[in-house]
């Protein structure tokens, strides 16, 4: 199979011959080391950013809550995304960085040794981290914007490595 994302007939592998959704059978694939790094950004008011920076939110530490939310999201991805496989996770790392006075970026790396990739787990976690920040700060700023959820890199698997050039 020259393009593993498609079956031999050239169809997307999440669809059967009649176009119905199906879960891809990964039973014959070898287990390999896999990693995915995804990111999200949330833009907010100066007041919300300052409250996060100085741990001044009534709900508590927004970064700590978002970190736990991201880790939990990794473990729940197969329940949220219908055609994702339940996979064993070897490690999750969640980092936050201020890109400017009002823009916070979350980066999530996920590692696994398995038969399918962890891109969806990393993307789900980055999204949920931003949602958790929104939830923590919505009393201060309901106009926050979650932006730029994207895969930055992935390694392992049949299709090889991917590195976004930004």
Contact between 16 and 26 under an 8 Å Cβ cutoff? The reply is no
Reading across the β-sheet that carries 145-155, which strands appear in turn?
A: 91-100, 103-114, 32-43, 145-155, 162-163
- Residue 161: active-site member: no
Q: Choosing from 28, 90, 135, 141, which is the catalytic residue? A: 135
Contact between 103 and 143 under an 8 Å Cβ cutoff? The reply is no
Treating both helix axes as pointing N-terminal to C-terminal, what angle do 62-80 and 119-137 enclose, rounded to 10 degrees? 140
Kindly list the catalytic residues: 135
């Amino acid at each position: 199979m020259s393009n593993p994302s498609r079956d031999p007939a050239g169809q997307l592998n999440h669809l059967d011959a009649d176009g119905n959704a199906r879960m891809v059978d990964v039973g014959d694939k070898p287990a390999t080391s896999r990693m995915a790094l995804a990111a999200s950004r949330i833009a907010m008011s100066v007041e919300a950013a300052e409250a996060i920076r100085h741990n001044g939110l009534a709900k508590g530490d927004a970064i700590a809550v978002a970190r736990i939310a991201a880790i939990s999201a990794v473990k729940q991805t197969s329940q949220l995304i219908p055609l994702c496989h339940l996979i064993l996770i070897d490690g999750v790392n969640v980092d936050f960085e201020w890109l400017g006075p009002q823009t916070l970026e979350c980066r999530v790396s996920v590692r696994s040794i398995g038969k399918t990739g962890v891109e969806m787990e990393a993307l789900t976690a980055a999204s949920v981290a931003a949602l958790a920040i929104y939830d923590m700060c919505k009393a201060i700023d309901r106009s926050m914007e979650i932006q730029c959820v994207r895969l930055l890199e992935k390694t392992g698997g049949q299709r090889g490595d991917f590195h976004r050039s930004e």
